[in-house]
Amino acid sequence: MSFFPNPQTFVSFSIGTLTFDIRWYAMLILTGAFIAYLVMRKNLKETRYFDMDFFDSIFVYTLWAGIIGARIWFCVFYDFKYYFSNPAAIIRVWDGGLAIQGGLVFGALFAYFYCRKKHYSFLMLADNVLPEVLIGQAVGRWGNFVNKECHGAEVNEEYFNGILSFLKEGMYINGHYYEPLFFYESLLCILGFCLIYFVLRRYQNKRGDLAWAYMMWYGVIRFFIEARRTDSLYLGNLKMAQLTSITFLIVGLLGYIGILDRFIKKQKPTLIFDFDGTLVDTRESITEAYRHLFRKYSDESKFTDEIRNEIIGPALRDLFPKYFPGVDYDTLYKDYRERQSEVSKTANHPTEHSVELLKSLHEQGYHIGIVSTRSKEGIEGILDTFGLREYVDDICGLKEVTNLKPDPEGIFYLVNRNNWEHDTVMIGDSLMDIGCGSNYGAYTVAYISDPQREEELKKAANETIVSMDELYGILNKDISFTYNKK
């Protein structure tokens, strides 16, 4: 194995009679892609929206789609007749020839359809990955330096005096010095990333803003770079990269000012409801069942107002050991359910407007699920009592998951099981419900059923409502239903 056999080759090795070269150009492109990947992954984790297995898959697939697209673009616009006559030459990437515009177009098309298939928002993905693509482009451009390409017109030797002196030798090509356009584009890519990532992201108004900004920025800088470049790809007498850059600029501008919004069909978000205290007021039956247990296995005087507030929401398996240490769980559960069933016949009732709400949302085509710490069978029984079961598509109860709220496992269970949209609204009446939605990356709506919880719920949730019919107004807003509101 021989390292650095020539300026363009990173490493060369032989297997039998075959010799293989790994070029610096490839190494720099992959290095840029890897750095961008690390920043993308960090951002996507913070959104609490994307599953990381999904992102790892789409990154690898899109990278390959981009490489294939970049090669096809080059072959079509560099010398179509030659490559059409010699199709075997198309796969000889190691001889040079990748066009970044083709990589971006093919990569974006693949990512769009893959997001559609997996029910993720393409614009949400684009906002979190396209600014980082500028990092990959900035690093990858140095592959052009190694290959002595992406340069401008001839310049005098004095052009490289001062801070450009380190580029002088590399820009000496066939007896002449050339303007290092690759270097200027690399710097402008880094500047663009900093402006979009550190500045614009703080003032982002709607989903897609960062993606559109990327297209505008890269369209502008690439247009002017290509205007001075002497080794461009052409479509007839026109530089292909400039035509693509103009398209990028126009599409980015139309998207940023909102004109494209009318052509982008918005998917209805998945709706996940808590059950107790949200859809059905079960406070009285829960309170009475616990009072019965305190009376029988502890001391009813210990059943304080603080405990009455605490028992609404958490799972029985979490609270029974706390209040009744040493008492068998199955015994407690049996007594609890018997007493609750007796009381619930007269005590339980749907919360105000919840019946009309579920029926209307179901008719409008929303996917509706319930995540609760109660058993699925118990929920279905109560829903049947009030004629609501047909309006709920699926239920995740106590036995369907390992981790209960505020862990988001229940939402993941329903969304993945039913292949629903990942844009989700979580509606609940406790911090545990809002925490579950936030941990998933959902837009959270707190239903204020207890005035004593209003202050803490307002701080935790994206929105608060005091009547279930207020949910209509929220769903009709022109917003994206994710944790960060973008």
Distance CA 419, CA 320 (A): 35
277: exposed, middle or buried (C-beta count within 10 Å: 0-12, 13-18, 19+)? buried
Q: Is 221 exposed, middle or buried (0-12, 13-18, 19+ CB in 10 A)?
A: buried
Q: In the chain, count H helices and then E strands.
A: 18, 16
The conformational region for residue 387 under phi > 0 = left, psi -120 to 50 = alpha, else beta, is left
274 is catalytic: yes
Closest CA to 103 of 149, 63, 132, 58: 63
Per-residue burial over 380-413, b = 16 or more CB atoms within 10 Å of its CB, e = otherwise = bebbeeeebeebbbbbbbbebbeebbbbbbbbbb
Where do runs of H (alpha helix) occur along 229-271? 240-256
Residue 177's identity, in one-letter code, is: Y
Whether 106 and 72 have beta carbons less than 8 Å apart is answered as yes
Handedness of CA 7, 9, 12, 17 (dihedral sign): negative
Which residue of the set 127, 209, 274, 276 is catalytic?
274
SS3 at position 176? strand
The count of other CB atoms within 10 Å of the CB of residue 476 is 8
Q: What is the dihedral of CA 470, 471, 473, 475, to 10 degrees?
A: 180
Residue 229 identity: R
> In 10 A of CB 156, how many CB atoms?
8
Catalytic residues: 274
